Amino acid sequence: MQAFSIPDVKDFMTKLLSSDTFDTFLITEAVLTTFTTFEVSGTYHPDYFDTDTARDQADSGKDQYISWRMLRPCFYDLIRGRQKPLGFRIVMRLADYNVEKLLRQSGVPFQVPDVAGLYLNISYDGDHLTCITGTSLRTFTLDRSLEHTWDEMIGKLLHQKQIAFVVSTR
């Protein structure tokens, strides 16, 4: 687990809400507080959509949770305006096809079925924005190589997207 403090909240919010920076992540839950609190479970309901949209979502391997790409416009609409939100929390999960890619590229000794989830928790309290990584495995192990690889990957993603951060020590 690694905590990344984001000093430039405005720049991060622009990249979160107005670009594809996080679009491939899945949303397991999100809570946004403005004039009221909005809660999103992230569970994907294919019956809501026409068959082509449902098939496209299923073909991309995102059949359990919605992608940030799908939720981003709704979140943007709820946040936009003159007043900043009182706070929010978004729990993002790396899609299985990207978990497989990460495992293959890093040489970490796990298989996709071993990984319950690789998470990025984004939280904003009205003043401070923090991104915290999380790793969940389906098996017990003392091997923390996947956790370290995931922490490193998020640091690289933030750097690549030119998002300034400070690694928080706990």
Residuewise pLDDT in 10s, the chain (170 residues)? 999 999 999 999 999 999 999 999 999 999 999 999 999 998 888 777 766 665 555 545 545 899 999 999 999 999 987 889 999 999 999 999 999 999 999 988 899 999 999 999 999 999 999 999 999 999 888 889 999 999 999 999 999 999 999 998 65
Give ∠ CA 68-9-16 in degrees, rounded to 5. 15
Give ∠ CA 115-116-119 in degrees, rounded to 5. 100
Domain interval for residue 103: 3-168
Helices 96-106 & 145-160 angle (0-180, nearest 10)? 100
**Confidence (pTM):** 0.88
Count: domains in the chain: 1
